[in-house]
């Protein structure tokens, strides 16, 4: 399953992308400020609510499965020592909380991606960051959202091709090398075709973007995002 925009009529789909971006920023700031189990428990409830308001569920998180082993192993690596006591529970607990913060941020991000079209994200960024920097960031975000699923599909196709040709009998290192080389070649090929397509279509840095307007449902979202930012700043100060 590839995480991408899913048309729906959920509350999150009806929100302005700028208010959803503020909620994400505020949530990330709060997650890195309130690092106690009690604080993370409250943020867990908020993250689940954000995903559910976007019509999502646990299946949407499966896209991030590549990150899960890293998040699980990180506490074990942090707690391991070369001498006695051989394992530091305090270090493992600290790293475990950090991994859990990252997971919560991914949950909120999944709700945003599921409920926000790429063009709306680009419009929100370009209208929030003025001038060329905003146009550059908006274009970059649009390209990333559109081409990451394609690159992932290319890697899966390369892996299946290696298996079909008897590559399953090769050592893991050789299989990884074959898939990586094929994936990089396809990525460069897509980049070349993208550049040609942009030139052929007279690519503009400031195209006609969808109109954005805050509605009644956006004000509670803005309040939540702003409140999270204020709470994070207040705890630091």
Interval 77-81 mean pLDDT: 87
Q: Which two tokens stand for residue 95?
A: 């790293």
Q: For residue 37, what pLDDT band results from cuts at 50, 70 and 90?
A: confident
Q: For residue 152, what pLDDT band results from cuts at 50, 70 and 90?
A: confident
Tell me if residue 40 falls in helix, strand or coil.
helix
- 168-193: pLDDT as tens digits: 788 888 888 888 888 888 877 877 77
Residue 184's CB is within 10 A of a number of other CB atoms, namely 14
pTM comes to: 0.72
So what's the pLDDT on residue 224?
Answer: 92
- 119-138: pLDDT as tens digits: 888 888 888 777 777 776 77
* The residue to which tokens 């897509």 are assigned: 190
Residue 17: pLDDT over 60: yes
Interval 41-60 mean pLDDT: 91
Interval 36-56 mean pLDDT: 92
Q: For residue 203, what pLDDT band results from cuts at 50, 70 and 90?
A: low
What percentage of the chain has pLDDT greater than the value 90?
24
Interval 88-96 mean pLDDT: 88
Centroid of chain to Cα 23: 14
Task: Label residue 36 exposed, middle or buried (CB < 10 Å: 0-12, 13-18, 19+).
Answer: exposed
Higher pLDDT among residues 209 and 27, named by residue: 27
Interval 150-174 mean pLDDT: 80
């Amino acid at each position: 399953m590839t995480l991408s925009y899913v048309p729906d009529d959920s509350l999150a789909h009806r929100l302005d992308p700028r208010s959803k971006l503020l909620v994400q920023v505020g949530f990330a700031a709060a997650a890195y400020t309130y690092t106690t189990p009690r604080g993370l428990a409250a943020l867990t409830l908020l993250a689940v609510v954000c995903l559910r308001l976007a019509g999502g569920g646990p299946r949407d998180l499966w896209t991030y499965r590549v990150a899960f082993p890293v998040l699980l192993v990180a506490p074990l690596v942090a707690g391991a020592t070369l001498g006695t006591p051989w394992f530091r529970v305090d270090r493992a607990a600290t790293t475990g909380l950090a991994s859990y913060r990252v997971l919560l941020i991914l949950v909120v991000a999944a709700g945003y991606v599921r409920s926000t079209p790429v063009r709306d994200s680009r419009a929100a960024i370009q209208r929030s960051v003025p001038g060329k920097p905003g146009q550059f960031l908006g274009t970059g975000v649009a390209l990333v959202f559109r081409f990451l699923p394609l690159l992932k599909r290319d890697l899966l196709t390369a892996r299946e091709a290696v298996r079909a040709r008897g590559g399953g009998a090769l050592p893991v290192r050789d299989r990884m090398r074959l898939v990586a080389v094929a994936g990089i070649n396809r990525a460069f090929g897509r980049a070349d075709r993208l550049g040609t397509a942009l030139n052929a279509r007279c690519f503009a840095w400031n195209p006609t973007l969808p109109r954005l307007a805050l509605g009644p449902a956006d004000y509670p979202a803005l309040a939540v995002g702003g409140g999270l930012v204020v709470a994070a700043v207040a705890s630091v100060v």
